[in-house]
Amino acid sequence: MIVGVLRETLPGERRVALVPEGVKVLVKAGLEVRAETGAGAAAGFADGEYEAAGARLEDRAALCAAADAVLKVQPPDDAEVAALRPGSALVALLRPLDEPQRAARLAERGVTAFSLELVPRITRAQAMDVLSSQATVAGYRAVILAAERLPKMFPLLTTAAGTLAAARAFVIGAGVAGLQAIATAKRLGAVVEAYDTRPAVAEQVRSLGAKFVALELEAGAAEDKGGYATSQSEEFYARQRKLMGERAARSDVVVTTALVPGQRAPLLLDEDGVRGMRAGSVVVDLAAANGGNCACTVPGETVVRHGVTVVGDTNLPSAIPRDASQMFSKNAVTFLLHLVKDGALHLDLEDEITRGSLVTRDGQVVNEAVRSRL
């Protein structure tokens, strides 16, 4: 079986789906690996490292014509879909619920496509969880960006030139990205507070040395059986926005990460909330790609509103491409090997991980949720 890794073509994307360390693991498992020339260059992995790990370098057309399975980070564009060989498999982030038409094109092309976002978040699949690994990088990066933009330092400093107060950071949403943002801000010396609708995370927030903000807000059933947040009433969100605004006014940095699966990100910091913040303060909105938690967010851009810098970067992991790729690659390799038996792809549709992530097969979109959006 031949596994290929393509160079990413989306502007600004610096990650690669398979790093040389992952090549070694696949080769050891008896698979043949081909890498597109320059596949890892933007992430800091030279072609020679791929060759040394056992991969053969090839151009895109030859690779796609030969590969039985192709690994990618970003969803393929139309040209990439057309280049894939009918009958081959694709493993990538496919945004299938947001962009179901791409799934339809992959089906039409006869590609067996697996969407890494759809890997069920069960304990057994933790090593395949791209959402968690990339959210970890995003949470870290968000705080580094904020520290760079903020006109003050994070730590409390007592010096001969006077005392500098510690920066105050407020993290809204304490899931995987939020917890990493809290840990990073703490390490830099900020005083950190965090809020989440899921009370279950309070202990995790405290264990990182941050304060869990208890708001006088009665969240309805805060989480589903998968541990994800559920959506709340508009009345709840209106009250939450007021309380978030009050907290934001006392903070130098606000990092928002709140998401409810399958929905637009809830609006948690409105224009008044931003207006109430001190000039020079920074908001980093990790939900920008899903519509944003902050009313002033412009997805993909950094803007200044009411004197506050609002960062709406939609691909934070790509800014730390080496580590983000290393983690992605580990996830993708673990996933691929889960599908391989005796050196070939073997799809066991009784298996929750395989069935859950499979989007197209035999010319059809087979995932119900994706099909219902076509």
Give whichever of 8 and 196 is closer to ligand NAD, judged by the CB atom. Answer: 196
Contact pick of 261, 291, 299, 356 for ligand NAD (by CB under 6 A)? 261
Q: Does 95 bind ligand NAD (CB under 6 A)?
A: no
CB burial of residue 195 (10 Å; 0-12, 13-18, 19+): buried
Contact pick of 24, 56, 121, 275 for ligand NAD (by CB under 6 A)? 121
227: nearest Cα among 324, 126, 307: 126
DSSP track, 46-75: -HHHHHHHTEEEE-HHHHHHH-SEEE-SSP
Q: Are 46 and 313 in contact (CB under 8 A)?
A: no
The structure tokens 């139309």 sit at 78
Residues 127 to 146 in contact with ligand NAD, rule: CB under 6 A: 129, 131-132, 135
Q: Does 220 bind ligand NAD (CB under 6 A)?
A: no
DSSP track, 76-116: P-HHHHHHSPTT-EEEE---TTT-HHHHHHHHHHT-EEEEG
Per the annotation, the verdict on 132 as an active-site residue is: yes
Q: Which region among 11-19, 121-129, 159-167, 335-343 touches ligand NAD (by CB under 6 A)?
A: 121-129
Nearest approach, Cβ of 236 to ligand NAD (angstroms)?
A: 8
Per the annotation, the verdict on 77 as an active-site residue is: no
Residues 144 to 173 in contact with ligand NAD, rule: CB under 6 A: 172-173
Q: What is the distance between the alpha carbons of residues 85 and 66, in angstroms, rounded to a whole number?
A: 8
User: Which of the following is catalytic: 68, 129, 196, 252?
Assistant: 129
Per the annotation, the verdict on 121 as an active-site residue is: yes
Q: What share of the chain is helix, strand, coil (3-state, %, to 5)?
A: 40, 20, 40
Q: What's the 3-state SS for 68-81? A: CEEECCCCCCHHHH
Q: Which region among 109-117, 157-165, 258-266, 273-281 touches ligand NAD (by CB under 6 A)?
A: 258-266
Per the annotation, the verdict on 329 as an active-site residue is: no
Give whichever of 77 and 224 is closer to ligand NAD, judged by the CB atom. Answer: 224
Q: Does 227 bind ligand NAD (CB under 6 A)?
A: yes
Give whichever of 51 and 117 is closer to ligand NAD, judged by the CB atom. Answer: 117
User: Which of the following is catalytic: 56, 60, 121, 198?
Assistant: 121
Residues that are catalytic: 121, 126, 129, 132, 228
